[in-house]
Amino acid sequence: MITSPAFAGKRYAVLGLARSGIAAADALLASGAGVTVWDRNEAPRTAFAGRAEIADPLEIDLTGFAGVVVSPGVPLNTHPIAARAAAFGVPVIGDIELFAQARASLPPHKVVGITGTNGKSTTTALVHHILRAAGTPTTMGGNIGLPILAQEPLTPNANGVGVYVLELSSYQIDLTYSLDCDVAVLLNVTPDHLDRYESLAAYAASKARLLAMSRGTHVDFTRGDTSPSLVTPATGPDSSFLSAQAGWPSLQGPHNAQNAAAAILVAQALGVADVIDQALRTFTGLPHRMERVATHDGVLFVNDSKATNTDSTAPALAAYPPESGQPRIHWIVGGLPKEDGLGATEQHLANVKAAYTIGEAGPRFAELLEPCVPVTRSEMLCEAVRQAIAAAVPGDVVLLSPACASFDQFKDYEQRGDRFRQFVAALTEEPGIDPCAGARAA
């Protein structure tokens, strides 16, 4: 884990003992800090019995505390901890701020911070992949993978200093004030998380703070700031770039063109250039993000379960244009709605051969889509997969890109994507078995 003498002898409260909270508490304890922990659930609290004080920071005297460390999931706009900490003059911070404060005691390194409403996970993983291909010591964390404090410090090698690649949500940015990135990336800002922010402008300002804190290279696709050569946020990918994209199987579509462009700019800023093309070709992508699940009888199956709003689904629809004038996407759409209407997906409906609606939003999507494309009201994901397989012909694409949250029928978008994989495998590899029977019974 990452520790630092900067925390020794200081007192911290950690509120919320999910992965990042546990990592923060462990790192602080290992650094010699005094730690008070709290979680509304008893089990994670008892894991710290004998190592930390267990008390709710809303009920104790916070005088002299160096910080209250909260999970990014704690809504600072409504949770009383913000006012409570302010009354004692104690900053409310997150694990990313602890990492920022620990940097001075780490071996020589650089930090890449990547944010944006959509695409930040893929861009983070792609930058990490390029650096690994170059032989650069690197790890990724933040809003992806293991919490950064739970990972081992990077040790430089002959190829240069280590690089920490951080995916950062707006919530995590809100909880840091000293993260100075060597390269800071802002991909895009579209309406999201407006239950946490008073306006879209406030949400955008939260994202932009990453750049304001960082004195290094800025890659800002929202403003067109000057950036390294080859492709710039101001001009976007040129024709030769888009031609090369055809050779990057896991980076299809206009959104992945932006993700790849951002990763290229980061690699250039870090002095990594000669491995970029090969790394783009070998990148396998992330689960549930335009994930190529299978090809069966000439039909491609794509799991884009992470697309939980229309802005993130639109690029997926754009990624598979018609061939020989014929649309080829069998679009599985629906779930727990975040918005009403088709949003940005409407401009790509010419690419949709048929739609299969599921979940709570299914009837509304069917109502909106029926004037434009053939619609099957599937209700359940398994039925949608089965019906799409029956209708698809070689060259078609069966695309799960729901444009909705998953919580009406699934635990999370990961479970939804896993079920899609399972149904595709069962229905294509063992057509005599009907996995939908079990799904219907459930």
Condensed to tens digits (0 to 9), the pLDDT of residues 198-256 reads 999 999 999 999 999 999 999 998 875 434 334 445 455 566 777 888 899 889 888 88
Let me know if 41 is a catalytic residue: no
Let me know if 120 is a catalytic residue: yes
The least confident of 252-256, 263-267, 278-282, 291-295 is 252-256
Does 442 score more than 60 pLDDT? no
Of these residues, 143, 259, 303, 309, which one is catalytic? 143
Let me know if 309 is a catalytic residue: no
CA proximity to 416, closest of 251, 293, 311, 319? 293
Question: Mind listing the domains of the chain with CATH numbers?
Answer: 8-93 (3.40.50.720), 106-282 (3.40.1190.10), 291-441 (3.90.190.20)
Condensed to tens digits (0 to 9), the pLDDT of residues 79-113 reads 999 999 999 999 999 999 999 999 999 999 999 99
CA proximity to 76, closest of 144, 210, 168, 173? 173
The two three-digit tokens of residue 403, written as one number? 């444009």
Of these residues, 79, 193, 296, 338, which one is catalytic? 193
* Contacts of range 272-275, beta carbons closer than 8 Å, 24 or more positions apart: 272/130, 272/131, 272/134, 272/136, 274/134, 275/130, 275/133, 275/134
pLDDT score recorded for residue 224: 56
pLDDT score recorded for residue 159: 79
How would DSSP label each residue in 373-396? S-EEEEESHHHHHHHHHHH--TT-
How would DSSP label each residue in 20-82? HHHHHHHHHHHTT-EEEEE-SSHHHHHTTTTTSEE--TTSS--TT-SEEEE-TTS-TTT-THH
Of these residues, 109, 110, 120, 128, which one is catalytic? 120
